Structure 1
Amino acid sequence: MVNLAAPLWRRRIENVSRFVGTVEDEAAIRAEELLREVAEDARLLELLAQTADAAARALDDWKIDTLARVFVRGAWEATDIDSTQVVVDVVRQLERPHLRLMELLARPNPKRSGARTDGVPTPDRWPVKDIYAEDGGLVGALDALVSRLQSLGIAHDVAVGAYVGYETTWALTSFGKQCASYLSRRGNGREQG
């Protein structure tokens, strides 16, 4: 009989090993020392367990590395572990196509340079037609992608109810910009791994 579980567990062990290595690099601390410090705080220990579990189940290296960065920031730089747990849950639910859309929404829209609303610059707004023009590969999946990002609090339609002749216009929320900052150091989303 073929052991179907062995490759799965091997992959999860490799993922956790990569996660630990990235945590060590990001925190400039050895894993043993990290575990000693984390073990002293039940909430940090639970955060580590949740983040390592998400990394173990990840299908891509970018997600493992992002989860490691989120853990390090949450454990060492932030005082609100609850917020870090929310970010971990969000990253767990994102896949490569979501990242493509987030990366696009995080950039200034070249068709809106100089655009203003009530005297405030709005180059970070992306009407659907501009999204399609910038990345035609999102055409068939855009509704599903923005639905997920919207449900996670990452993106919102900034034009809803704003004026007659309404045009769906997407932008990252403040939380979406925070998530994008965790993801920005991982590469361009089209990398394999």
Structure 2
Amino acid sequence: MAARGMRGGGGFFPGPFGTGGGGPFRDFPGRMFEGGHRRMGQGEVRAAILVLLEERPMHGYQIIREITERSGGMWRPSPGSVYPALQQLEDEGLVRIEQEEGRKVVHLTEEGRRYVAGHREELGAPWEAASKNFSEEFLEMRGLVEQVAVAAMQVVQAGSGEQVAEARRLLTETRRQLYRVLAGE
């Protein structure tokens, strides 16, 4: 039962360990355990694409990766938000999409460059908004929890039965201790 969530498909851990799926963390601030990122609006996706393409041409996956990195992992736009935005920008004449080495690479057009230059302040750096509402303590705790999740998954994947049982005991005790801290004990 425990392994189901850890191997993908409705799991409890972010990233490679599952899809997040909500569970007890679905309402946690920033949904940090539901894929580790925050949902942003289509306007922010559009702005981020334009700002990034001003720096250099990119393909869709590079755009997603760059936004994720610049937001510290707090915003990872889905292909379902990036590709329609790219299509809309192409329809508006702000970008052109060219086939290069088997990939569709997106370039700003001259009209796109003029648009970015004329709206620089308005476009800003949308990825910064994804993490600005989180304190340093929150971000540090998020990182620690992710490190513990990675270590736990390594024990499950490579450990003996006794090691897995000990890891389970440690995690259960850690959860209890955290609730005791919260209760002021």
Given the two structures, how large is their TM-score scaled by the length of structure 2?
0.23
Q: Which has the higher contact order (CA 8 A, sep 6+)?
A: 1
Given the two structures, how large is their TM-score scaled by the length of structure 1?
0.23
Structure with bigger gyration radius:
2
